[in-house]
Amino acid sequence: MKTRALGKSGFEVSEIGLGCWQLGNDFGPVEDEEATKILQTATGEGIHFFDTADVYGGGLSEERIGQWRKTLSKPPIIATKVGRNGELYPNGYSKVKVKQSLQASAKRLGVEAIDLAQLHCVPRDVLFSGDILAWMEDLKQEGVIKHFGASVEMLDEAMFCCEHAELASLQILFNVFRQDAVDSLLPLAEKNDVGIIVRLPLASGLLTGKMGLNHTFNAHDHRSYNKDGAAFHVGETFNGIPFEKGVVLVEALKEKLPEDQNILDVSLRWILDQPQVSSIIAGASRSSQVMRNAAASNLPPLSKELHSLLADFYRAEVRNEIRGGI
């Protein structure tokens, strides 16, 4: 597993990380035994960067990570998030409550100070007021957190955060079906030494190529109840693309790929080929998926021709299908 610098944090993170939303049972139930196996497999594959949030399973994801962390001799780097629990979202934000939320996360994770605390898609007006970023700076001074970053929905929010002097990282929606950051955000992030953490690298699983039109999802899976954005931002589920359209687009892209390339590896490798990316936090609901995704670190870069094909396909076929803005 290769590592990369995470912006100003000074952390070296595995270029494939683990997204732990699944450990909150938000993609359907994951039994305790499988959850532990997912985390253990990640460590075995050299993954030592984990992304979670206080709201994943109402704290379950953080608790599972905290329990497992106790068994390790070398501590991993754990990033969590703040800003979407019922105390704060949508309009209860205060420095005291943000601090309390982070302290509760630290307790569940079993750490003194949180390695990386990310603002969790806070409302635009809250973000753009700038106060909440200043509070994070204070909380870093106070030792509640070691570093802070932001997870955002929109590119303009990312560009705004990127200008904040102490912001270590940005977590963005970025994949072969959402490429706009390549020309806008990534150069700015590099200039300002902000590490890019990529979520939804596989567009919620669409880009694995395993989903057909008849694929069904558990009722407790956000891919069932949020596929059209009924519960939270539509972009967080299938990248904002209507599911059936997404399946058709994936099949069309598969047809265009060289015979020796499969869409899952191409999707992960395309992201790793962007040097400004620090880590891909691929989500996994099974340990076998962790192993497969970790292997992308050892794949060679994609050819120039394949990069051009993917850029053309995105512009011509995909971009206009994304709902919720970019």
Ligand X SMILES: NC(=O)c1ccc[n+]([C@@H]2O[C@H](COP(=O)([O-])OP(=O)(O)OC[C@H]3O[C@@H](n4cnc5c(N)ncnc54)[C@H](OP(=O)(O)O)[C@@H]3O)[C@@H](O)[C@H]2O)c1
Shortest CB 29 distance to ligand X, Å = 11
Nearer to ligand X, 143 or 219 (CB): 219
Distance CA 297, CA 90 (A): 38
- Sequence-ordered strand ranges (E) for 104-208: 114-120, 145-151, 169-173, 195-199
Distance CA 157, CA 150 (A): 9
The reply to whether 22 sits near ligand X by the rule CB under 6 A is yes
The reply to whether 243 sits near ligand X by the rule CB under 6 A is no
Among 6, 13, 20, 306, binds ligand X (CB under 6 A): 20
Enumerate residues 209-228 that contact ligand X by CB under 6 A. 210
- Specify whether the CB–CB gap between 270 and 307 falls below 8 A: yes
Enumerate residues 255-284 that contact ligand X by CB under 6 A. 264, 281-284
The reply to whether 204 sits near ligand X by the rule CB under 6 A is yes
Identify which of 171, 94, 108, 192 has the alpha carbon closest to the alpha carbon of residue 139: 94
Distance CA 82, CA 99 (A): 9
The reply to whether 296 sits near ligand X by the rule CB under 6 A is no
Shortest CB 304 distance to ligand X, Å = 25
The reply to whether 181 sits near ligand X by the rule CB under 6 A is no
CA–chain centroid gap for 137, Å, is: 22
Distance CA 145, CA 135 (A): 11
Shortest CB 250 distance to ligand X, Å = 12
Q: How far, in Å, are 44, 141, 287 from residue 72 at the CA level? A: 11, 28, 18
Applying CB under 6 A, the site for ligand X has a residue count of 30
Distant-in-sequence, close-in-space partners of 186: CB < 8 Å, separation ≥ 6: 196, 274, 276, 277
Q: Is 116 helix (H, G, I), strand (E, B) or coil?
A: strand
Part in contact with ligand X (CB under 6 A); list of ranges 5-13, 17-25, 103-111, 142-150: 17-25
Among 200, 241, 272, 302, binds ligand X (CB under 6 A): 200
Distance CA 304, CA 307 (A): 5
The reply to whether 289 sits near ligand X by the rule CB under 6 A is yes
Q: How far, in Å, are 8, 34, 202, 217 from residue 168 at the CA level? A: 5, 32, 24, 36
Indicate the helix (H) or strand (E) that contains 51.
Answer: strand 49-51
Nearer to ligand X, 191 or 287 (CB): 287
The reply to whether 247 sits near ligand X by the rule CB under 6 A is no
Enumerate residues 92-131 that contact ligand X by CB under 6 A. 120-121
Among 37, 69, 95, 292, binds ligand X (CB under 6 A): 292
Shortest CB 235 distance to ligand X, Å = 9
Shortest CB 153 distance to ligand X, Å = 7
Enumerate residues 37-66 that contact ligand X by CB under 6 A. 51
Nearer to ligand X, 111 or 284 (CB): 284
Part in contact with ligand X (CB under 6 A); list of ranges 21-29, 92-100, 106-114, 246-254: 21-29
Looking at residue 303, its amino acid is S
Q: How far, in Å, are 77, 264, 310 from residue 10 at the CA level? A: 11, 30, 33
Identify which of 204, 218, 189 has the alpha carbon closest to the alpha carbon of residue 19: 204
Q: Enumerate binding residues for ligand X (CB under 6 A).
A: 19-22, 27, 51, 81, 120-121, 151, 171, 199-205, 208, 210, 236, 264, 281-285, 289, 292-293
